[in-house]
Amino acid sequence: MKARVSKNFWRDKNVLVTGSLGFLSSWLIIDLLERGAGVTGLNDDYNPRSLLRLKGLEKKICFIQGSITDYPAVERIFTQYDIQVCFHLAAQTIEGACRRSPLTAFDTNIKGTWNMLEAARNSRQNLESIVIASSDKAYGEQKELPYREDQELLGRFPYDASKVCDEVIAQSYSRTFGLPVGITRCANIYGGGDFHWSRIVPGTIRSVLRNENPVIRSDGTPVRDYLYAEDAADAYITLAEAVAGGKAKGESFNFSAEHHKSVLEIVKMIIAVSGKKNIRPDVQGKGKPYQEIDRQILSAAKAGKVLGWKAGYSLEEGLKKTFDWYVKYAAEYL
């Protein structure tokens, strides 16, 4: 997979990752460090359970504690550290939290994006590429599946709507000011280092490792696409290099392994990976969760055609690697 992009491109490159102690950000930074990039990370608080800390890599990046909503701080980072590539992942990503506090979510997710883009515009002498994290949730409820990039974005719930706004703002900066922007719409990302137990994969793994039956709050039928974290990091890096090379500027791309499963199927797969015969899913819901899209399925055909990208891990392989990670690293947090 990684042979598709050039290590030479990343060697000594000044890279900013916002939301740097997050789950996906950590996997991305690990990959960037392996490629020889110099990474600056912005995060609003210190996360003692960050994957970077667990792997002993925190001191290999220049860590700046601050908020993406603080424009002067963001602008200072771009100018002081001569940022050449920016991966913008800082956001409130937990949908339940966005619904409980939509103003906070909009402030972080939308204002944070325009702050980053404006800082990049004002400090763009050596800027080569910006990759902005949108989401498959931006599509909302669609009549035609799988989702394709030319469909209208119908996201209406707070998190979903914030990502629609991010995309419109990013495309505005790209079209008006020529900023080298690319946008990712990823399937549900899973992998080691995710401690948001409300998510289906880490939550199920925690239950299994506790020898408890995993609880499914719905009726188990909602369907999602899934993408292993290392594949997601590779997708971000692939898109950043393509944009820097003059390809795909201002465009959005779906990234998915294109293997959609129901919630119940995912839980059963994790139980099978664990090898535990005495665990059974506890399906408690009598219907679909309130305000949740029933089926979210992505086509990654455009990413394959334009970027030459394809997921490297099957769902079975990714879940096995994820389960093994929690067994090895996360016992104290279960």
Q: Which DSSP string corresponds to 72-113?
A: HHHHHHHHHTT-SEEEE--S---HHHHHH-HHHHHIIIIIHH
Query: What's the CATH code, domain 2-191+226-256+296-313?
Result: 3.40.50.720
Confidence of residue 3 (pLDDT cuts 50, 70, 90): very low
pLDDT mean over 116-120: 98
Read off the pLDDT of residues 221-256 as tens digits, 9 standing for 90 and up: 999 999 999 999 999 999 999 999 999 999 999 999
Counts of helices then strands in the chain (DSSP H, E):
13, 13
**Active-site entry in 139, 159, 228, 236:** 159
pLDDT, position 223: 95
* Element of type H or E holding 162: helix 158-177
- Say whether 159 is catalytic: yes
For residue 156, give every residue at least 6 positions away whose Cβ sits within 8 Å of its Cβ, in sequence order, or none.
Answer: 140
Closest CA to 189 of 221, 213, 224: 224
pLDDT, position 125: 82
State the Cα–Cα distance between residues 260 and 267, nearest whole angstrom. 13
Closest CA to 268 of 197, 316, 325: 316
Q: How confident is the prediction for the chain on average, in pLDDT?
A: 93
State the Cα–Cα distance between residues 286 and 114, nearest whole angstrom. 41
pLDDT, position 2: 42
pLDDT, position 55: 86
Domain ranges in the chain are 2-191+226-256+296-313
Lowest-confidence pick of 10-19, 103-112, 127-136, 284-293: 284-293
Q: Which amino acid is at 46?
A: Y
State the Cα–Cα distance between residues 238 and 291, nearest whole angstrom. 34
Lowest-confidence pick of 44-58, 102-116, 205-219: 44-58
Position 1 pLDDT exceeds 50:
no
pLDDT, position 265: 98
Question: Whole-angstrom distance between the N-terminal and C-terminal Cα of the chain?
Answer: 32
Position 6 pLDDT exceeds 70:
no
Read off the pLDDT of residues 150-174 as tens digits, 9 standing for 90 and up: 999 999 999 999 999 999 999 999 9
Half-sphere exposure of 232 (CA within 13 A, CB side): 28
